[in-house]
A = this chain, B = another copy of it.
Amino acid sequence: MIYELLKRHEANFFIMYASSKDPNFYYAVGMKLPDPAFYAVGEDGTEMLVVHEMERRRAERESRVKEIVSLSDVGFYEKVKELGVEKALAETYAEILKEHRARKILVPKEFPSFLYKHLSEHFEIEIVSNPFSKLRSVKKSWEIKEIKKASEIALNALKFFLEIVKRKREIEELRKRVELFVYEKGGLAEDTIISSGRRSADPHFVGEGIVEKHVIFDIFPKVRASGYHSDFTRTVIIERDEEIVEMLRACIEAKNEAIKIIREGIEAKEVHDKVCDVLEDYGYKTIRQKAKEGFIHSTGHGVGLEVHEEPKIFNSEDKLRSGMVFTVEPGLYYERIGGVRVEDLVLVKKNGCEVLTRFDDYVEVVP
């Protein structure tokens, strides 16, 4: 795919400069690097990783990139005194690329400006969407296995929550216990949303205070060993409120109708439109109508090494592909009432999709 991209843009190299905290970089090099390093893949078949000398041996052993170059082998440390770190890095990388006869280079949107500027003096540079974001959007079977593990943890975390919320109502305490439970299962959940009352009208409000009549439980744990996430939400009814139950019903129907049409080949937009159709039929306003209350976010997003990644399930005409994993998460939000949301994680298949977070849609706790 990257070779095609290079050909299409008539470019010689695609490069990245990042640490392994950047999931695209981590995916490309296949090892943890706490400090930024340089990755280059060329139309001539070159694929190299340039690291500090102290990371060389480890990179040779751990990285999936075969050609490891140490900065000390390419004269970087001699350049630093004269040029300073940044210019020395840029000049070093430029020399390497020139040795490979690079003239035109592709960089990802998030490529740091300081290098973009320096390298622009040597090469024609074009900014592109990171091809690794797209590569990562279609999961390999071992990645799906990890996402399934994370989903299992998420489901069990909700079961655990449903038990303890019968006796406890302090949200901070509930979150603490749920996240410890997840950790003990080999997962890691941070900023788990347990939001209740009117402030749950803000989709990313993590929640605080006391559980009131309903609670949004939105958990997106990763498997610690692999770094792959799940993402799963249920709205739990504690005390029936007609308005909230009706909102929840609409979201459940929207989610399930959308899931029914998901299969390889349809456009992301069709899924989003289906969710909007159902919610609008119920009489709620949606983002498609530029509403500021009601359904005010996109239908979903890819999940993998990141909780938010490709594909975006929104307005786009991009076609769904087999192996994509993303959320379907209709929600309704009103400042006067609060918010509700239901969210499943699905895996796209040739003739349909698999729900990775099978759980009752309507959840009620009778304390």
B-binding residues in A (CB < 8 A): 21, 32-35, 53-55, 57-58, 72, 77, 86, 107-114, 116-117, 127, 180, 183-184, 188, 190-191, 201-206, 224, 290, 292, 296-297, 307-308, 333, 335
**Cβ–Cβ contact A55 & B204, under 8 A:** yes
**Cβ–Cβ contact A202 & B58, under 8 A:** yes
B contact residues around A204 at 8 Å (CB): 32-34, 54-55, 58
Question: Can you name the residue of chain B whose Cβ is closest to the Cβ of A33?
Answer: B204
Chain B min CB distance to A166 (Å): 24
Given contacts A21-B21, A53-B296, A58-B202, list 7 more A-B pairs with CB under 8 A. Answer: A32-B191, A53-B292, A54-B297, A108-B113, A109-B113, A111-B112, A188-B188
Question: Can you name the residue of chain B whose Cβ is closest to the Cβ of A21?
Answer: B21
Instruction: Pick the most buried of A113, A180, A290, A335: most chain B CB atoms within 10 A of its CB.
Output: A113
Question: Can you name the residue of chain B whose Cβ is closest to the Cβ of A17?
Answer: B110
B contact residues around A55 at 8 Å (CB): 202, 204
B contact residues around A54 at 8 Å (CB): 202-204, 296-297, 333
Chain B min CB distance to A245 (Å): 23
B contact residues around A127 at 8 Å (CB): 113-114, 117
Cα A308 to Cα B54 in complex, Å, equals 16
Instruction: Pick the most buried of A86, A110, A203, A335: most chain B CB atoms within 10 A of its CB.
Output: A110
Cα A115 to Cα B330 in complex, Å, equals 31
B contact residues around A113 at 8 Å (CB): 107-113, 116, 127
B contact residues around A307 at 8 Å (CB): 34
B contact residues around A58 at 8 Å (CB): 202, 204-205
B contact residues around A107 at 8 Å (CB): 113
Question: Can you name the residue of chain B whose Cβ is closest to the Cβ of A203?
Answer: B54
**Cβ–Cβ contact A86 & B112, under 8 A:** no
Given contacts A113-B111, A180-B183, contact A224 B190 (CB under 8 A): yes
Cα A290 to Cα B77 in complex, Å, equals 9
Chain B min CB distance to A263 (Å): 26
B contact residues around A201 at 8 Å (CB): 57
Question: Can you name the residue of chain B whose Cβ is closest to the Cβ of A81?
Answer: B315
B contact residues around A116 at 8 Å (CB): 113, 116-117
